[in-house]
Structure 1
Amino acid sequence: MKVLRDHKMISIEDYRQIENISVNLNCEIHGKKLDLYCKKHDIAVCVVCIPSDHKSCSSSDVISIDEASKNAKLSTSLLDLEGTISATIDNVRLCIEDREIALTNVDQDKQTISKTITDTRKNLNEYLDKLERKLLLELKSKHENCKSEIMKILIKLRQMETEVEKMKEQTLQMKRFASDLQVFLGTRQLNQVLCKKVGSLKEEIRDYTNNNMEIEVNHVISSLMNEVKQFGEIRVSEAMVELQLKDAKTDQAQIQIYGLSQSIQNVNLKLIQKFDIKESEPSIYGCVLLPDDKIIIIDDESGKLMEYNYDGQHIRDIPVSDRPDSLTLVDTDCIAVTYGLHSSDGLEWKDIKYHRCR
């Protein structure tokens, strides 16, 4: 049909993967369709927003939303969102692990104290039965209080982990099946939600304390049974927890910001790092810098790829099917390798995480 000529068609199965991903395509202020983008303010706007809020913006600053959202699935913002989600999940899991360790320590404290009480009790007469029961009840009460506080935090953290895992799944499905416009707007909206969760997590761990229980047994119990009215005292000491959370990159620009053009004659190079190549006489044809600061270098002479870390330490050799000519980064774990005219392979996609070629 003519009216559907410019529509992008996807299968029902693919749509069901993204139907629960909420991307607002209309202006929250005016209710109009978001069909423009202001590069100066880095915001999607409708036609009503321009005369009211963007009078000072030049015509070159305001472009169509379709132009702005081109190649959104390959944008740095989407990659940063995925990285932020992964880092947040790691942070949540780190907090959960810390609380689980604290829970174990409290249980161990309880067991240690219980054993101390029991061992001491063996040398006392029936007079201490009442004092022993009183102290064990106090221990149980304080232990349950400490355990209850930790469990409350663990419940919140596990809920946050589930929510961030869901965001990760939504991001993957949005990347695979959503349109560029949905990815463009969805990325920004998910980033905002994620920033709030990261802030909430940082606020949550700021008040973490470790409650360590210990007992101080009265030293005169064995000789002064008639004078002792208290078997011991259960004390809970608090120590602040210092967790080092990963700082993920958030709110990165998704649209390239064009500055003043600069002649190449005015560009000065600066040496950042220098290291020696493993091979004695390598034939270097090119290299690519990975997101984790590792470097993959082409050795045309030996017909392989060499991986180094940022400090110049050789990590591994990655085999390829022929003598490589050039390479480029496609995704965080995938590179594309091209071969010269002498090769019949032409182009090869290589999963550098698992060494899988296709």
Structure 2
Amino acid sequence: MAASNVILCGICDTQHVSKVANYWCPECDEGLCSPCKKYHSVSKASRQHGIISIDDYNKLPAEICKIEQNCTEHDKKFQMFCPGHDKLCCIICISENHKECTGMFLIDEVIKSSRSSTLFDSLEKSLKDIQENVEMVVKDRKANLDEIKQHHSKSLNDIKDTRRKVNSRLDELEKNIIDDLNSTETQLKLKIETLLDKLFTKMTTLELLKTNLMSVKQHGSDLQAFIGSKMLEKDVTKALKCIQNLSEDDGFSQIGLKCQIDDKITDILTDITAFGSITIEKSKSPIVIGVGHEKQAQIFTAVPPRSKSIDDITASLINEFKLPLGQSRKCITGSSVFPDGMMIFADCHLNKKLIILQSDGTLDTEILLSPLSPFDVTCIDNKTVAVTICNNTIQIIDTKTKQVAKTINTGAGLGITYRQEQIIYCEKGKGIVGIQLSNYKICTLVEDCTIQNDYSYIATSGDNIYFTDNGSAVKCYSLKGEKLWEFKDESIFSCPTGIAVDQYGIAYAISNRNNSVVLISADGKNGKTLLTANDKIRVSYGIYFHINKLYVASYSGNLLKFDIA
């Protein structure tokens, strides 16, 4: 190790003694020699610190080593993690900027599960998928180069063979056609080779990301693993987007050469003015870019290691809004909440419109859809929604321009939700269907022919799908199509409509026949009534859970906002 890279023992250094450190304490942010490490490990203040060897410390990426252990603004130790702002907070941060935030977790609880969280697995899976896609594209592009060579060789033979059948006047025309052919081939090769150069550069970047990821996972402290994984997540997301955008590169197209010899070449002395023509044959590449864990590595939810019992959950009404009056009475059949906290509602049968409210309940805008009847709605981002229409279609709508961006024909089914670039809905007699927004490809996620209700509502949480069905049941499936549980209890639960799910996997389902909201445990084994008619619950369809707040929209247009604790 070079002298400039030698790390000294911090404790000895404060005593004006220079001693090489053998260990590193991330929480103290200093090196320790062997004797000092011994005392450090038994001291009450530091015995729980995660010490690593200097060799392991030196293996960490430079940006991970620079992670601050304390709040840089207030020079206080981080104590809480705010999932709403995705930020670590010291005690002063909490008092100044996070007084109204809910769902905050103790940082000690969060970092305990960070190394074993699914984020590392997701990052590794995404990196592997990206590499496989790059290798697949490289192989395909090389095959296309060979094909172009073969086309070139055949075309050249055709040209020369024809040339030998005519007189010397073809010399000039032969030169023109060959120059055109060679120029076109060079142009095509340049496009593909340019793409290949980009791909080889991307592969180098991916290898570095993999190395950094493994170093953080194996050698970083818990906090470094937590924050470092989020830093690496941005690089993985960028690489993922780059791979997904490959199809837009001109060099990704399936390119071919075609040489057409004119049938009237023998009439060249009188009629023909060119030897032939060179054209580029372009078709869609047979390679389909697909990442199995698409976008999953972009989302990290800081969930505490403990689950939550439905017996511990309480709800208190904090706001009540009345949706603005229309020309006719309200028929609210669907609702959702934008990431920024604004709310949207589907006013179905009479007014046939979407209603958007500010977070304080004031009207923002209305989008008329008449003569179409919107049934359910889900937010994709802060300005885009997907809406199920009662004529078996789904419309993608830009709420800022009020324009329909895409109309998708579907089977019978009206409940809808959005998850990671995919629209998911129930289809009567078929099961759970997903629509990938990148290419609008439709695929069946869950086969369940017992779904006989057009009005089944649906929600997702983590890798699970939840939906109401069969008049008195809630079902839960994994994304792999495995049925996890089915909940029925007609004593408290009948005629279910809307459903929402919190971060613990606990379902909140409307029981319309009882005018109530029922809680269902994460394992589907237990249920209890959370809200009743005494809490102003009436006939309702729209329900949504957003950052520890539960929204219930009645059919008549009364919106209740509950704080969930």
The TM-score, its normalising length taken from structure 1, stands at 0.65
User: Is it true that 1:185 corresponds to 2:232 in the alignment?
Assistant: no
CA distance in 1, matches of 2:207, 2:83: 33
Post-superposition CA distance 1:33-66 (Å, at most 9, x none): 77234354272323243234321125x7241x33
User: Is it true that 1:251 corresponds to 2:251 in the alignment?
Assistant: no
Paired position in structure 2 for 1:232:
276
Report the secondary structure of 1:69's partner residue: helix
Code of the aligned partner of 2:101: C
Post-superposition CA distance 1:85-141 (Å, at most 9, x none): 111111222222232222222222211211211221222222211111111111111
CA distance in 2, matches of 1:168, 1:70: 23
User: Is it true that 1:55 corresponds to 2:103 in the alignment?
Assistant: no
Structure 1, 29-38 or 164-173: larger mean CA deviation: 29-38
Paired position in structure 2 for 1:104:
146
Is the 2:134–2:199 Cα contact (8 Å) retained in structure 1? yes
Query: 38, 51, 56: which one pairs with 2:81?
Result: 38
Give, in angstroms, the shift of residue 310 of structure 1. Answer: 9.7
User: Is it true that 1:211 corresponds to 2:255 in the alignment?
Assistant: yes
C-alpha change, 1:259 and 1:53, in structure 2 (3 Å) is: farther
C-alpha change, 1:142 and 1:91, in structure 2 (3 Å) is: same
Is the 1:221–1:228 Cα contact (8 Å) retained in structure 2? yes
C-alpha change, 1:153 and 1:45, in structure 2 (3 Å) is: same
Give, in angstroms, the shift of residue 202 of structure 1. Answer: 1.4
C-alpha change, 1:164 and 1:139, in structure 2 (3 Å) is: same
Paired position in structure 2 for 1:84:
126
Aligned sequence identity (%): 23
CA distance in 2, matches of 1:191, 1:52: 29
Is the 2:61–2:215 Cα contact (8 Å) retained in structure 1? no
Which structure has more relative contact order (CA 8 Å, sep 6+)? It is 1
Report the secondary structure of 1:212's partner residue: strand
Query: 183, 187, 208: which one pairs with 1:145?
Result: 187
CA distance in 2, matches of 1:227, 1:31: 87
CA distance in 1, matches of 2:257, 2:202: 29
CA distance in 2, matches of 1:177, 1:155: 33
CA distance in 2, matches of 1:234, 1:33: 71
CA distance in 1, matches of 2:185, 2:73: 56
Is the 2:71–2:77 Cα contact (8 Å) retained in structure 1? no
Is the 1:84–1:250 Cα contact (8 Å) retained in structure 2? yes
Query: 116, 119, 123: which one pairs with 2:161?
Result: 119
Is the 2:152–2:257 Cα contact (8 Å) retained in structure 1? yes
Is the 1:18–1:170 Cα contact (8 Å) retained in structure 2? yes
Is the 1:37–1:45 Cα contact (8 Å) retained in structure 2? yes
Post-superposition CA distance 1:264-312 (Å, at most 9, x none): xxxxxxxx99xxxxxxxxxxxxxxxxx9xxxxxxxxxxxxxxxxx999x
Code of the aligned partner of 1:56: E
The TM-score, its normalising length taken from structure 2, stands at 0.43
User: Is it true that 1:74 corresponds to 2:116 in the alignment?
Assistant: yes
Report the secondary structure of 2:266's partner residue: coil
Q: How does 1:1-358 map onto structure 2 within 5 Å?
A: 1=36, 6=46, 7-22=49-64, 25-26=67-68, 30=73, 35-38=78-81, 40-41=83-84, 43-47=86-90, 48-58=92-102, 61-63=104-106, 65-207=107-249, 208-241=252-285, 243-248=288-293, 249-253=296-300, 255-256=302-303, 260-262=308-310
C-alpha change, 1:228 and 1:61, in structure 2 (3 Å) is: same
RMSD: 3.2
Code of the aligned partner of 1:261: S
Report the secondary structure of 1:250's partner residue: helix
Structure 1, 120-129 or 159-168: larger mean CA deviation: 120-129
Is the 1:81–1:250 Cα contact (8 Å) retained in structure 2? yes
Higher helix share: 1
Higher strand share: 2
CA distance in 2, matches of 1:84, 1:185: 18
Runs of 4+ in structure 1 over 4 Å off: 2-5, 31-34, 257-260
Code of the aligned partner of 1:72: S
Report the secondary structure of 1:184's partner residue: helix
Is the 1:24–1:185 Cα contact (8 Å) retained in structure 2? no
Structure 1, 153-162 or 38-47: larger mean CA deviation: 38-47
What residue ranges of structure 2 are gaps of 5+ in the alignment?
Answer: 1-35, 312-445, 448-462, 464-479, 483-565
Structure 1, 34-43 or 84-93: larger mean CA deviation: 34-43
Give, in angstroms, the shift of residue 30 of structure 1. Answer: 3.8
Give, in angstroms, the shift of residue 14 of structure 1. Answer: 2.2
Code of the aligned partner of 2:228: G
Q: State the number of aligned residues.
A: 267
Code of the aligned partner of 1:211: I
C-alpha change, 1:31 and 1:79, in structure 2 (3 Å) is: farther
